[in-house]
Amino acid sequence: MGSRILIAASLFQFILVMASLSFGHEIKTRYVTITYETKAHLHEFNDKLYLGRLKCLLKKRRALTIEDEVKNKIDLIIEKAETVLEIFPNTLKFKINLVPSPKEVQKAYYNIYSKKVDYIAFYSPGKNTVFYSVKHAKIRVVSHEIGHVIVQHYFKITPPVKIHELLAQFTETHICD
């Protein structure tokens, strides 16, 4: 009888561990739900997401944890992107999925679009999700994809691909320069 309880308890612990590994972690901000696999990935993303001159704007925002710091950085970039584009969607809610490397970004793209690419990040309008490689979390990359998100959420009819790309590049350039 005791061995059955031990086996059941071990099985329950195994299930809990596997569930936490497969679903990862989640952070919610004013605009976005960020998912990531491990705390180490969140730290790497945060360390690589250097804000440069925008960092002074973070002083007004409290950050007690790494999660707070990432939330503050992402919300700041979103608000700056809206200002740069002069586009303020009525409701801006989307997801960010942080994955360990470009391979996982490319795998996600293939799973959604059945097409091989060499991207380090992309925005999927159908999933309303941005996929970022934590290894390439630079403000240019983050700003560019957020530009796509804002454009997609603002216009009732999605602009042509080239216009979409120009607006994302405009966002990237004016946030980073």
What residue ranges do the domains of the chain occupy?
25-176
Q: What is the CA 27 to chain-centroid distance, rounded?
A: 10
Side-chain-side CA neighbours of 141 within 13 Å: the count stands at 20
Q: Please report the DSSP string for 28-62 in residue order.
A: E-SSEEEEES-HHHHHHHHHH---GGGGGGGGGS-
pLDDT digits (tens, 9 = 90+) for 136-145: 999 999 999 9
pLDDT of residue 92: 97
pTM of this prediction exceeds 0.75: yes
Q: Is the pLDDT of residue 21 over 80?
A: no
Q: Please report the DSSP string for 58-89 in residue order.
A: GGGS--SSHHHHHHHHHHHHHHHHHHHHT---
pLDDT of residue 62: 73
d(CA 137, CA 48): 5
Average pLDDT in the 90-106 region? Answer: 96
Under CATH, which number does the domain 25-176 receive? 3.40.390
